[in-house]
Structure 1
């Protein structure tokens, strides 16, 4: 599993997840100061529900690399996608069933974190 081809992908995924965590904490603190604890808790849970499945996907997707293990690469990628979808649905259901949340704060933070990877390559790619 210590393949050098996967190192770049793992590093990028780690930076992406770290930046997502920072954004969630910034949003949570901002919401706390403007609207209070319940809104901030809802925002934090929304970010948590978005980040955890991404972490699972990154772990699964970057396990293999190279032409000789192309079937393992595809299998691990599809497995990562399946687990990401499963954990997203599970965390959504658990959060909405067992926690008292403000839906607007929860869903807004969730959506921000889900769409953040579309913008991150602009900020994380090195300028050569």
Structure 2
């Protein structure tokens, strides 16, 4: 019996979600590459600015499990979210400061696409796991 069948809470399939989001980032970046090389790498940077902090959050937030770890779980969620916001700000700052030629629209649109993908990934991935 799995934890879900026993009434326990399962950890989300973070690795699968991260893989799906990474594939979406590559596809989006390649699509922008058809516009121009600058748009392509700007889109890649925008997606990475979302994906790297989100990976940090997932690592921090899902380290603990079980009812006995409730306090640690809450603490790690807050730390993960704070770290994610700080990393996002640092990465945006680094890109704007050190990348001389940048397609701002591609950067922010890619970031927004990754945000929406992040909202939809659990729904899409969840359907596949429920059918199995």
Please give the per-residue CA displacement for 1:61-105, whole angstroms capped at 9, x wherever unaligned: 011111111111111111100100100111011111111211000
RMSD: 1.6
Distance of 2:63 and 2:124 partners within structure 1: 25
Q: Which runs of 5+ in 1 are unaligned?
A: none
Q: Which runs of 5+ in 2 are unaligned?
A: 1-7
Pairwise CA distance, 1:122? 2.3
- Size of the aligned set, in residue pairs, is 121
Task: Flag the 1:47–1:14 CA change in 2: closer, same or farther, 3 A.
Answer: same
Displaced runs of 4+ in structure 1, greater than 3 A?
none
Please give the per-residue CA displacement for 1:13-61, whole angstroms capped at 9, x wherever unaligned: 211111111011101111112x121110100000010000000000000
Pairwise CA distance, 1:127? 3.2
TM-score (norm 1): 0.88
Distance of 2:53 and 2:10 partners within structure 1: 20
The residue aligned with 1:21 is 22
Pairwise CA distance, 1:121? 2.2
The residue aligned with 1:47 is 47
